[in-house]
Structure 1
C-alpha cells in the first residue's frame, strides 16, 4: 500500500475551508489556523512514522485540527434564518445576516453549554426558539420586515 504524506499546506487549507463555512468568525484568525495546522501536521507525521495507515493518521490529525469546534453558532443562526425567515430575507442576505447575528445574539448563546451532544438535547430546541425570537425582534427593529 502506498503511504504518502499530504502536502504541508493541506491541514491549513482544510481548516480554513471548514472555518469559512461553519465558523466564519474564526476564518481570519491566522494564528489559530497556523497553530492548529502545525499541531495536526505533527500528529499526522508521528502516526505516519509509527507505521499507521493513512486513514488512522488522518483521523488523529483531524481530531487535533477540529478540536473544540464541535458546535457552530453560525450554522445554527444560518439554519434559523433559512427556516424561519426565508420569506423576508433574500438568499444573498442570509450569510451576512447570520454573521451579524453572531454578535447580536451572543447574550442568548452565553446561557448554554455547547458539547458534542448539544444538538440532540432539549436545550437545542430552547435555544433555537430563543434565537428565532431575537432575530425576529432585530429584523423588526431594523425595518427588514
Structure 2
C-alpha cells in the first residue's frame, strides 16, 4: 500500500468516524465496519481516478460508498425530538445523554417503519415523529428524567 493510499484510508476513516460519532453512536465503536467501509471508499476513489474521472466525480463515488445507508439517523431523529419537544425539562448538556437513553425505548417504534436513507423526506416521517414524541412523553411520565 502506498503512502498516498494510507493517507486516503485515514482520511475516509476519520470522516466516517466523525459522522458515526455524531449521528450513529451505536456504530461509532465498530472498528471493523469503519475499516471496511473506509477501505472500500478509498479503493473506489482510486479506481475512479485511474479511470479518468474528474476529482469531483471521484469524491462523489467514494462518498456514496462511505456513507451508504447512513443518511437517515435514528439517533438524530430522537435527539431532534428531545431538543425541540422536551428542551424545557432539562439543561442543554442533558439533552444528548437523554437522547442516547431514549434510543432503546424508541426502538419498537422505529421497527414499525421501513427506514431508508431518504425516510426524512417521506410522509411517514411525520407519523414517526409523532409516535416517538408520544413514546418519550409516556416514558418521562412513568420514569421521570432519571
TM-score (norm 2): 0.90
Contact 1:8 1:41 in 2 (8 A): yes
TM-score (norm 1): 0.91
Q: Deviations over 1:19-73 (max 9, x none)?
A: 1111111100111000000000100111111121211111001100011112100
Count of residues in Structure 1 that have an aligned counterpart in Structure 2: 142
- Give 5+ residue unaligned stretches, structure 1: none
Counterparts of residues 1-145 of structure 1 (less than 5 Å): 7-144=8-145
Contact 1:22 1:75 in 2 (8 A): yes
**2:56 aligned counterpart, secondary structure:** helix
RMSD, aligned α-carbons: 1.7
- Give 5+ residue unaligned stretches, structure 2: none
Greater per-residue helix proportion = 2
15-24 vs 113-122, which deviates more? 113-122
C-alpha separation between the residues in 1 aligned to 2:99 and 2:134?
14
Q: Deviations over 1:59-116 (max 9, x none)?
A: 0011000111121000000110111001102111111111111111110100001123
